[in-house]
Amino acid sequence: MLFTAASGILNMQTTAPNSNEPYRIVAGDISMLQSKLDEAAGAGYRLILANSAEKGQVALLLERAPGGELYAYKVLSTIRTSTMQKEIDQNATDAYRIVPRSLRETNSGLLLILERPPQSASSPKYKLLAAQTGIMQRKVVQGIQDFSMCCATSGGELIVIMQKASLTDATTTNLTPAYMLTKEQPSAMEKEMNDKAASGYHLVPGTPATALDFGPRGMAMFMEKDSSSAGPFSYRLLEASKWLPEGKAATLEKELNVAAFEGYRLVPGTVAEKQKAAKGGVFGRAIRDSLTPYVIHETIDRLTPSEILAVMGRGAESSARYEDVVRLASDHEMFQAVQDGYKPVEMTLMVNTILVPASTLFIIMERKVS
């Protein structure tokens, strides 16, 4: 299967599904996603990655469930966050849990996928928070008691879902306190991440957000303090900025392996695309916007290549080494990498902003080398 989003439409060149394949990609309109996901789950696959595309379309990556176990799924899509909270609560009573990396803001509203495992256990209690970035930190701190971070996304406002494990569920660790980082420049974000990591904070996988209320140039990430972890972490924030998606993919692969050689490993769910920040940060952009007509500087921004960001982490006692490849989400490239010992860890849509707007779906894969 090869998936390419061109002019906002996700085009698919598919082959007949083979239930023996280790991975399967499902893609299409949100309205058809439930039936496609049910079909794949009925064939013994389990959802591991999700990514939104333009025009309300979604791409999902599933892997063969061990032992042929069958998982059940619910696709939730709504505009109102209050409605989403209600639907999460209703399905939690039937033992459905959030798939953390499925939370997405799409043109059709908020998208979230829930999963029920074969041996249904009690589900955590979830709390959905929605706010502009200026007050989200206060909301997270106020709501953190007995809750841990689950996932986050952004659109018109920042969306955060927190979870609280039941007393009989030992699989979810309640971490406290939480801290939210918001920066425009990647170098400033990396510095703040490492400053907090030195104090015992760890980055929460799957919680980056890049389209904030102060513009698509901003970033937000969440960290939590975990006293049970041994030693501090250090982080590396990678940048890949090229005009064409293929160039971004090649640059990202190179940067991933440079950091991996030094003992870093990709933090799951931290790959995101954002518009490059204006020089001078928020104040620099404010001055520029006051001197330049809106239509002119927005046109200039459209002619500036966006950048792919990825966070890699290294533990104080980590000795394992990995290597990474970035491949098109296609039968030939992805499954060849699987034969070479790689496993998918991330799926990202890379945008071409010049001439005809287009997006290409890539899979980031890793293998352990030592």
Residue type, 287: I
The Cα-based distances of 276 to 61, 133, 191, 214, 273 in angstroms read 28, 19, 18, 13, 9
Q: Which two tokens stand for residue 39?
A: 């079909």
pLDDT of residue 138: 77
pLDDT of 264: 96
**103 in Cβ contact with 161 (< 8 Å):** yes
- Break the chain into its structural domains and give their ranges: 1-122, 124-322
Distance of alpha carbon 52 from its chain centroid, rounded? 10
- In degrees, rounded to 5, the angle at the alpha carbon of residue 359 between the alpha carbons of residues 357 and 361 is 175
- Tell me: the pLDDT tens digits for 127-172? 999 888 778 877 776 656 678 888 888 867 889 998 986 544 444 4
CA 209, CA 296: separation in Å to the nearest integer?
Answer: 26
Mean pLDDT of 21-50: 92
Strand 158-164, strand 178-183: pairing? unpaired
Alpha-helix runs per DSSP H in 58-210: 81-92, 133-142, 186-197
DSSP assignment of 112-126 equals EEEEE-SS--PPPEE
Residues 6+ apart with CB under 8 A from 221: 180, 181, 189, 193, 203, 204, 207, 208, 209, 270, 311
**Mean pLDDT across the stretch 344-358?**
76
Tell me: the pLDDT tens digits for 65-84?
988 889 999 999 999 999 99
263-274: per-residue pLDDT in tens? 999 999 899 887
Which residues contact residue 271 at a Cβ distance below 8 angstroms, ignoring those fewer than 6 apart? 208, 308, 309, 310, 346, 348, 364
Judge contact between 233 and 197, C-beta under 8 A.
Answer: yes
Contact of 128 with 85, CB cutoff 8 Å: yes
Q: What is the pLDDT of residue 60?
A: 93
What is the model's pTM? 0.84
C-beta of residue 190 within 8 angstroms of C-beta of residue 293 = no
Q: What percent of the chain has pLDDT over 90?
A: 38
Backbone CA torsion sign across 72, 47, 63, 262:
negative
pLDDT in tens, 170-222: 444 444 567 888 877 888 899 999 999 998 888 988 877 664 444 545 778 88
Buried b (16+ CB within 10 A) or exposed e, 307-344: bbbbbbbbbeeeeeebbbbbbbbbbebbeebbeeebeb
Judged against a pLDDT cut of 70, whether residue 369 lies above it is answered with: yes
Helix, strand counts (H, E) of the chain: 8, 22
DSSP reduced 3-state for 205: coil
| CA nearest neighbour of 359 among 368, 367, 350 | 350
Q: Which of 29-43, 48-62, 218-232 has the lowest mean pLDDT?
A: 218-232
